[in-house]
Amino acid sequence: EAQVTQNPRYLITVTGKKLTVTCSQNMNHEYMSWYRQDPGLGLRQIYYSMNVEVTDKGDVPEGYKVSRKEKRNFPLILESPSPNQTSLYFCASIGPQETQYFGPGTRLLVL
């Protein structure tokens, strides 16, 4: 079954404690992306990746890092989380015609 998985699904952490949200896809897509969803702001793109070792900033990259060492994985790294990064995060694998295949989402609370 074609799918995008994210872990963890829920996370509560404290300010400054580094965390990583993993994302994996089994569709062999070259493109992958990270979004955050906030009330009234919709989904905003954080970073996207065109292939292994190739990434680019989206609209809200500040405070985030990504890496793409393998085609199937695209982890999102928050090296020093702050409360304004409390959000719902989605990973997506991008298929033909720019169709986004979304993961189930990760709800993050930073205290």
Partner 1 sequence: AQTVTQSQPEMSVQEAETVTLSCTYDTSESDYYLFWYKQPPSRQMILVIRQEAYKQQNATENRFSVNFQKAAKSFSLKISDSQLGDAAMYFCGSDAGGTSYGKLTFGQGTILTVHP
Q: Where on the chain is the footprint of partner 1 (CB under 8 A)?
A: 31, 33, 35, 40-45, 48-50, 56, 58-59, 88, 90, 92, 94, 97-100, 102, 104-105
Which uninterrupted H or E stretch holds 110?
A: strand 106-110
Nearer to partner 1, 88 or 109 (CB): 88
Q: What is the CA radius of gyration of the chain?
A: 13
Of the pair 19, 101, the CB lying nearest partner 1 is at 101
| Nearest alpha-carbon partner for 91 in 110, 72, 75 | 75
- Least gap, CB of 83 to partner 1 (angstroms): 21
- Least separation in angstroms between CB 34 and partner 1: 11
Q: How far apart are CA 58 and CA 72, in angstroms?
A: 20
As measured in angstroms, the least distance from the Cβ of 48 to partner 1 is: 5
Nearer to partner 1, 18 or 57 (CB): 57
Going from the C-alpha of 13 to that of each of 4, 10, 107, the distances in angstroms are 24, 10, 11
Q: Which is nearer to partner 1, 55 or 85 (CB)?
A: 55
Minimum distance between the CB of residue 104 and partner 1, rounded to whole angstroms?
6
- Output phi, psi for 57, to 5 deg: -75, 145
If you count them, how many residues does the chain have? 111
